[in-house]
Amino acid sequence: MSRTGIGASPQTTTTNALSFLHPSRIAAALDQRLTAETIRKLQNCRRLEQRLAAQMKPGLVAQDLWPIPASADFLACPANPQAVARLAGAIWHAASLRLVVTGKAAAELVATIGEKAFAFGLRHAAASVGPAQAIGPSELAHAIDRDGLACLGAWLAGEAKPRRDAVLLRLSPEDTEQARQFSPEHMTACQSVMTIVMAEGETS
């Protein structure tokens, strides 16, 4: 898996590995009422690292995401896999995106998936995988996220577990589950789609 130009994290290998995890995973292990600021402090507190990891272990074991990878594994992988997946989904449904280029529907779609993903999909319309469908912006946005995550998951399937988990742990549990729901079609197309996405560089 090439890691060239993927928006690597500025953190160093001495960083607490828990600091890379999606905040919702910390909240799920401790208390859903925790604020974002409190979660950030907990994730970056080396004194609490082992205790917090022990609290998270049962849930991560159940999701086949244990042990938590080392910081080096996180640093070698995409810093923002959600953004990576959305660009992949924009390519996947680029043919449909081309049917929604102006007006209120386009504005609604941009508000949901972001201007970068919208423009990226249009720019790479020739690599579209899905057929052109005239569907509503909210349904198309959902399809972009769904197939983008599935494409990311298919791309990760052949990776060693620490590298694969380092990407999945940056996602919410819901997005991780979606990334695991890939089909043979995603397996067939993921390499060509993700090669384009990785060439984009910074994806955050």
The answer on pLDDT for 3 being more than 70 is no
Total of domains in the chain: 1
* Mean pLDDT of the 160-186 span: 97
Question: pLDDT tens across 52-97, in order?
Answer: 999 999 999 999 999 999 999 999 999 999 999 999 999 999 999 9
* Mean pLDDT of the 6-21 span: 67
Long-range pairs of 59-64 with CB within 8 A, sequence gap ≥ 24: 59/25, 59/28, 59/29, 60/25, 63/173, 63/176
Please state whether the peptide bond connecting residue 67 to the residue before it is cis, i.e. omega within 30 degrees of 0. Answer: yes
Asked whether 14 and 71 are in contact (CB, 8 A), the reply is: yes
Q: Locate 129 and state its tokens.
A: 């995988």
pLDDT band of residue 5 (cuts 50, 70, 90) is very low
Asked whether 49 and 20 are in contact (CB, 8 A), the reply is: no
Asked whether 68 and 98 are in contact (CB, 8 A), the reply is: no
Q: What's the pTM value of the predicted model, to 2 decimals? A: 0.90
Dihedral angle computed from the Cα positions of residues 164, 146, 173 and 82, in that order, rounded to the nearest 10 degrees:
60
**Domain span holding position 204:** 1-204
The answer on pLDDT for 194 being more than 90 is yes
